[in-house]
Amino acid sequence: MDPHPPQFVTEAIEPEGIERTLRGALELQRAAYRRAPMPSLEERREHLRTLKRFVLENQEPLCATISADYGHRSRHESLLAEIMPSIDGIDDAIRHLPKWMKPQRRSVDRMVFGFASNRVVPQPVGVVGVIVPWNFPINLTVVPLTAIFAAGNRAMVKMSENSRHLARLMIERLPAYFPPEKLQVFDETGGVGIEFSKLPFDHLIFTGSGRTGRAVMAAAAENLTPVTLELGGKAPAVVCDDFPLRLAAERILYVKYLNAGQICTTVDHVFVPRAQVEAFAKLAAEIVPQRYPSIDSPDYTSVIDQRAFDRLVHGLEDAKAHGARLVNLLPGPAFDVASRKISPHIVLDAPWEAELMQREIFGPILPVVPYDALDEVIDRINDGPRPLALYPFSYDSARIDRLLDHVMSGGVSINDALLHVGQHDLPFGGIGESGMGHYHGREGFETFSKLRPIFHQSRWSTVSLLYPPYGKLAERMLSFLIR
């Protein structure tokens, strides 16, 4: 096997060459890790500064190539959701890294172990694989890399088949910032993802669908590779009758139609008190056109590809066939095939057997679900898989506590949506079918570190008093310690 593969892959790899190329890249990084397994604080900070420099120096081309991959993606949404949190997260890691790297002192049972000492030392695990989705491809590359580099590791990144323009840009420009033994990026040219997930990484992080996540986890299990899975699910908002309806609508609708709803932590559907459903629909019809005057607005993003577009249109048609009312919130057509834009919609009276209610929507469609009692909402959410996020809206702390106590989710934003994801000092991660493991901030550093427990024996060991042959001393000592 060639220990020096091509630095970055720009063309389709022949099927028989995919495994050889990927394994060659892994061997190169693993050999570099063995030569220098414990980068210093300054080396790690320099890697993070270099990552930041790459994002800042290329931010306009990055936004442009993401838009090309989408068909159209709002530049401001790319700056807001991709560039800004990436830079902010790097700065946060640089600032906190000395504290994160510091060995932790742990207590010792002096009665048994005398003057020995304990500590936990965070050390790099080695080479980390990152499988990146298409919806926020810079954010979901740079944020994991921030934690991976802060922890002192090396990384191989596999981009989505829907991020071909962006992948090409990164493959062309990243070698000026990082050598291949530190970072390599691979385009999805067909079959790359399958082989990538089979590699014996020291850790693998995947963001994407639950179905693909199961396949990735199964492949990683062959190598006992630990995985962090960030999946999705039907994240609900719950509006209580004490919360101002307009304020709830303004916040929920902003998050729902950001990136045309193509966010794993967006509001999938909203529970609204039955008496307020029509008022919520009226407010939506007022608020959304003020933000997006038409479907052609440059601030409104396209659906990523034809398959997703067709799925969403079919979901609307299926809901209508089930008796739901479809409300197009913008003047003009409900969708445009040429631009792959679907107008923001709310859906009223959709039964639970409708397709929109059975699977994650991942598009600009918001079902509004009436309810009469909070326990109905709790039971309905708990009847499905645990969501990646929960968004309760209430000023009543008892109601909030009831929802938090009785509905488990990956994360929570109270009286808003999505914003918990942007908090660097909060871990991000799912539970159950919405994922496993955490990253962001300190939790990201620890996820990609081995928190290595180290016991240091003193010059004289009290345990030596318990060496065999066992006699009266051992009997007395054990009786004392057990008692």
Across the chain, what does the average pLDDT equal?
Answer: 94
C-alpha 201/C-alpha 187 separation (Å) is 18
pLDDT range class, residue 6, cuts 50, 70, 90: very low
Cis check: omega of the bond before 469, within 30 degrees of 0: yes
| Residue that has been written with the tokens 């609508």 in this structure | 249
pLDDT range class, residue 16, cuts 50, 70, 90: low
Q: What angle do CA 370, 375, 378 make, to 5 degrees?
A: 85
Q: What is the predicted pLDDT for the residue at 103?
A: 97
Give which of 347, 344, 342 is closest to 324, Cα–Cα. Answer: 347
What is the DSSP secondary structure assignment for residue 80, as one 8-state letter?
A: I
Distance between first and last Cα of the chain: 61
pLDDT range class, residue 400, cuts 50, 70, 90: very high
* Active-site residue, selected from the candidate residues 19, 195, 230, 360: 230
Are the folds of 15-231+437-452 and 236-425 the same? no
**Is residue 12 pLDDT above 90, yes or no?**
no
Average pLDDT over residues 193-207: 96
Name the helix (H) or strand (E) containing 207. Answer: strand 203-207
**Is residue 8 pLDDT above 50, yes or no?**
no
- Do the strands 335-336 and 104-106 form a parallel or antiparallel pair, or are they unpaired? unpaired
Q: Which residue has the higher pLDDT, 389 or 189?
A: 389
C-alpha 171/C-alpha 7 separation (Å) is 9
Q: What is the predicted pLDDT for the residue at 477?
A: 87
Q: What is the predicted pLDDT for the residue at 13?
A: 54
**Is residue 11 pLDDT above 90, yes or no?**
no
Q: How many CA atoms are closer than 13 Å to the CA of 157, on its beta-carbon side? A: 33
Three-state DSSP at 129 gives strand
Q: What is the predicted pLDDT for the residue at 14?
A: 61
Q: What is the predicted pLDDT for the residue at 462?
A: 85
Tokens representing 174 are 């990243």
Q: Which of 215-224, 245-254, 335-344, 472-481 has the lowest mean pLDDT?
A: 472-481
Burial class (CB in 10 A: 0-12, 13-18, 19+), 460: exposed
pLDDT range class, residue 483, cuts 50, 70, 90: confident
Average pLDDT over residues 77-91: 97
Q: What is the predicted pLDDT for the residue at 9?
A: 43
| 374-392 tens-digit pLDDT | 999 999 999 999 999 999 9
Question: Where are the domains positioned within the chain?
Answer: 15-231+437-452, 236-425
Q: Is 264 part of the annotated catalytic residue set?
A: yes
Q: How many CA atoms are closer than 13 Å to the CA of 280, on its beta-carbon side? A: 30
Contact 393, 238 (CB under 8 A): yes
| 403-416 tens-digit pLDDT | 999 999 999 999 99
Q: What is the predicted pLDDT for the residue at 326?
A: 98
- Do the strands 203-207 and 227-230 form a parallel or antiparallel pair, or are they unpaired? parallel
C-alpha 312/C-alpha 318 separation (Å) is 10
Q: Nearest 5°: phi and psi at 369?
A: -110, 120
Q: What is the predicted pLDDT for the residue at 10?
A: 42
* Active-site residue, selected from the candidate residues 19, 240, 264, 360: 264
Tokens representing 35 are 């030569």
CATH number of the domain located at residue range(s) 15-231+437-452 in this protein: 3.40.605.10
Average pLDDT over residues 420-428: 95
**Is residue 1 pLDDT above 60, yes or no?**
no
Residues of the chain with pLDDT > 90, as a percent, come to: 90
Q: Is 63 part of the annotated catalytic residue set?
A: no
| 446-476 tens-digit pLDDT | 999 999 999 999 998 888 888 999 999 989 8
pLDDT range class, residue 112, cuts 50, 70, 90: confident
Average pLDDT over residues 163-178: 97
Average pLDDT over residues 108-124: 93
| 259-299 tens-digit pLDDT | 999 999 999 999 999 999 999 999 999 999 999 999 999 99
**Residues forming a β-bridge with 74:** none
**Is residue 5 pLDDT above 80, yes or no?**
no
Tokens representing 141 are 């590359």
C-alpha 322/C-alpha 309 separation (Å) is 20
Q: Which CATH architecture has domain 236-425?
A: 3-Layer(aba) Sandwich (3.40)
